[in-house]
Amino acid sequence: MRVVVQKFGGSSLKDAERVMEAARKAVRAKHAGSRVVVVVSAQGSTTDDLIAKAAEITAAPSAREMDMLLATGEQVSIALTAMAIQELGERAVSFTGPQVGIVTDTTHRKARIKSIDTRRLVEAVEAGSIAVLAGFQGVDELGDISTLGRGGSDTTAVAVAAALKLAGYEVACEIFTDVDGVYTTDPRVVPDARKMDAISYDEMLEMASMGAGVMHSRSIEFAKKYDVPLMVRNSRSDAVGTWIVPEAPWMTEFPVCGCALAHDEARLVLDGVPDRPGVSHRVFAALAGASVAVDMIAQSVGTGGKAAIGFTVLNADLEKTKKTLAPIVADLGATLSETGKVSKVSVVGAGMRTLSGVAEKMFRALAAEGVNVKMITTGDIKISVLVEEDAEPPSSEDVPGEPVKKAHLEARRAVRGRKALRAVHAAFGLANPRKGAGVPADGTGNGFTPRPTPAVVPGAADREAAIARLGGMEDVLVSGVHLDAAQSRVTVHDLPDTPGNCSRVFTAVATGGILVDMIVQNLTGPGRAELSFTVPRADLPRALQQTKDVVCGIDAGCRVAGDADVAVLYVLGVGMRTHTGVARTMFGALAARGINIAMINTSEVCVGVVVERARGEEALGCLRQAFKLA
Ligand code: ASP
Ligand code: MG
């Protein structure tokens, strides 16, 4: 039995005509032989309007009342959509989140789903109705209405698809929106961005966490965890969109599948941190405790027993971050400073695990544009850099005494970031057709048909058991811990913080065909950066020599050091960044053993740390234990 979950976003339901269009899509899917569940967002800008209404009353609304208010937006949509389907002569029944037992934790406005009881949905679809479900909302253990965070309807849709899969259905989830699919980058910034036919869950997770705002990251986590095939497609056409599916071998043929820009993050530097076990744990455990999701973390090697930890958080969490860390900073005798406006530019691709020269190409493109890189972190399948932005320049369009128009502000934001994004997109030739983006890939055809996901519980006979398995559905999934004891580290201290220096270093290293794995760059002293990267141990002497040769030519004050005795540990899984507890567990376990962390790198699907090689095996064992892996 097949269920299609169709999710319609706010813009796809913005008026009666669009609601009818959505209803027609649902009816057509039903006539094609599927059971259909429709998940809807609030119409148009309803959620923003509701937030504005609250702001007219109070600057600090209670989170519980906000959820009560915001949930009404989706309730309007379900009723109208159900009526529209009925108008087309089909049966439809609407449900709020609480009505179908979407149970969440009690974190209002950012709630996480704990379980879904699919009974009412199943009853409805089996009775021949199209079930119309409110996205974004649930009920907490106290019986109060909760919401899942902005954009949370995607998460509802995929979570419901996952739950129906566990209840015995073959599922697919279609996310209808106002774009044709997932592009190699934001087409508003780079007009020749290309639509992709298929992308892997991990690639999409990295893209989504980097500001490719097509989908809510958490929804992709669910899709990966429960193996739900997703398609992002346009609600105004019948064109096939982009499939988001498990990684296929052809996907690793390209070093980079897409790039993204984000400019809603703030960068903080914790300087003068004692370089001893447990310090990062204290910092990130405190932030996890305050539900602050830390994005990039770059801990540099440091000198004289002191290290610097650079990290980024969402601008919205900046004040909370500073407040949370103030006592710890004082206690450590460190300083916490926040840097000016930054943009983050990232490249993503499953092929970069094995293909060398990716960093080199990226930094060369940035250097050619004169873009200065303030911080670098790498993940398993991504490289992210922070670039400094100018404060927003005034524009002739501004009317004195009036607030700057939103559209004008947008256009002025991230000027360097946009330039950097265009340069990187061009450098990797992302506008050109390739497999999975305009050219048929093995066994897929251009429209990429994913293999159907087999039902798990045949016939859904054992519903109770299926429901039980959904307990803690948003709990993080750590799938493995790996130790790479064959790495060594090169560190450049006091590299002048001017455009092009990283590019020169990586060009030199890439010339030797050396595969650079982890890269961390952090600003240390004023005008100085520290750059560390890992290379296979056998390549260390060559990498050191090449690095020395090039940095000598940059500045006589640079020092290059090598450390052959390091090991890199990776924790792989999903939601590493959004689930603030992963870093906490990881750093906590290492701290408890007195294992010092020399470098840290984070991404959505991977957290990597560098430790002393002699303690690599021990660290591996303790992380396996901490994450309860066999
Ligand atoms: N209506 C909510 C929002 O605007 C949820 C969603 O659209 O997914 O954030
Ligand atoms: Mg919305």
Ligand 1 close to Cβ of residue 41 (< 6 A): yes
Cβ density class 403-419: b for 16+ within 10 Å, e for less: eeeeeeeeebebbbbbb
Considering only 76-90, 269-283, 528-542, 616-630, which range has the smallest mean pLDDT?
269-283
CB of 375 shorter than 6 A to ligand 1: no
Please write down the HEC assignment for all residues of 46-90: HHHHHHHHHHHHCCCCCHHHHHHHHHHHHHHHHHHHHHHHHHCCC
Residue nearest to atom 6 of ligand 1 (CA): 151
Residue 323's pLDDT is 95
Q: What is the pLDDT of residue 462?
A: 56
Q: Cα angle vertex 348, ends 158, 599, to 5°?
A: 105
For residue 301, the model assigns a pLDDT of 63
Residues 6+ apart with CB under 8 A from 410: none
Residue 472's pLDDT band (cuts 50, 70, 90): low
pLDDT at 619: 93
73: confidence class by pLDDT, cuts 50, 70, 90:
very high
| Number of Cβ within a 10 Å radius of residue 482 | 14
C-alpha to C-alpha distance for 394 and 408, rounded to whole angstroms: 10
- Report the C-alpha gap between 211 and 262 in whole angstroms: 5
Q: Give the Å distance between the CA of 322 and the centre of ligand 1.
A: 28
User: Does residue 590 sit in helix, strand or coil?
Assistant: helix
Q: Is the CB of 12 under 6 A from ligand 1?
A: no
> Which two tokens mark 562?
């090598």
Least confident segment among 38-52, 134-148, 373-387, 433-447: 433-447
Residue 477 has pLDDT above 80, yes or no: no
Picking from 29-33, 63-67, 152-156, 512-516, which range would have the lowest pLDDT averaged per residue? Answer: 512-516
Encode pLDDT of 557-591 as tens digits: 889 999 998 999 988 877 666 666 777 788 888 88
User: Is there an atom of ligand 1 within 6 Å of 98 CB?
Assistant: no
pTM score, whole prediction: 0.84
Model confidence band, residue 393 (pLDDT cutoffs 50, 70, 90): low
The region of weakest confidence among 247-261, 438-452, 475-489, 616-630 is 438-452
Q: Give the C-alpha separation, 327 to 158, whole Å.
A: 40
Q: Please determine, for residue 18, whether its predicted confidence score (pLDDT) is greater than 60.
A: yes
Identify the pLDDT of residue 185. Answer: 93
Name the band, by pLDDT with cuts 50, 70 and 90, for residue 231: very high
- pLDDT of res. 457: 45
Average the pLDDT over 38-43 and give the result: 98
* Residue 10 Cα: closest atom of ligand 1: 7
- Residue 418 phi/psi, 5-degree rounding, is -65, -45
Tell whether ligand 1 has an atom less than 6 A from the beta carbon of residue 507: no
Q: Which ligand is nearest to the CA of 175?
A: 1
User: Residue 246: is its pLDDT beyond 60?
Assistant: yes
- Pocket flag, ligand 1, residue 135 (CB < 6 Å): yes
Identify whether the C-beta of residue 610 lies closer than 8 Å to the C-beta of residue 302: no
Measured CA to CA in angstroms, residue 315 lies from 23, 212, 280, 322, 630 at distances of 38, 17, 21, 11, 39
As a whole number of angstroms, the distance between CA 576 and CA 579 comes to 6
- The total of other beta-carbon atoms located within 10 Å of residue 557's CB is 11
Contacting residues for 77 by C-beta, under 8 A, at least 6 apart: 13, 19, 40, 41, 42, 43, 134
**What is the length of the chain?**
630
**Which residue, judged by its Cα, is nearest atom 9 of ligand 1?**
150
Residue range 143-163: mean pLDDT, rounded: 94
Find out whether the beta carbon of 150 lies less than 6 Å from any atom of ligand 1: yes
Of the segments 348-352, 442-446, 477-481, which one has the largest average pLDDT value?
A: 348-352
What is the signed CA dihedral for 11, 14, 19, 22, rounded to 10 degrees? Answer: -10
Query: Could you tell which of 47, 70, 147, 154 is best to mutate to test the pocket of ligand 1, judged by most ligand atoms within 8 Å of the CB?
Result: 47
Cα dihedral 78→79→82→84 (10° resolution): -110
| Structural domains of the chain in order of their starting residue, each with its CATH number | 2-178 (3.40.1160.10)
The mean pLDDT of the chain is: 86
Question: Does 400 have pLDDT greater than 90?
Answer: no
The atom number, within ligand 1, closest to the CA of 153 reads 8
Angle at 415 between CA 215 and CA 178, to 5 degrees: 25
pLDDT band of 396, cuts 50, 70, 90:
low
| pLDDT average, residue stretch 370-394 | 81
Beta strands in 564-605 (DSSP E): 566-574, 599-602
Q: What is the pLDDT of residue 557?
A: 85
State which ligand 1 atom lies nearest to the alpha carbon of 156. 8
pLDDT tens for 319-346 read 999 999 999 999 998 999 888 788 889 9
Rounded to 10 degrees, the C-alpha dihedral 209/254/366/183 comes to -50
pLDDT given at position 446: 42
**pLDDT surpassing 60 at residue 2:** yes
Strand 294-299 to 230-234 pairing: unpaired
What average pLDDT score do residues 173-193 get? 92
**For the ranges 141-145, 300-304, 349-353, 621-625, which has the lowest average pLDDT?**
300-304
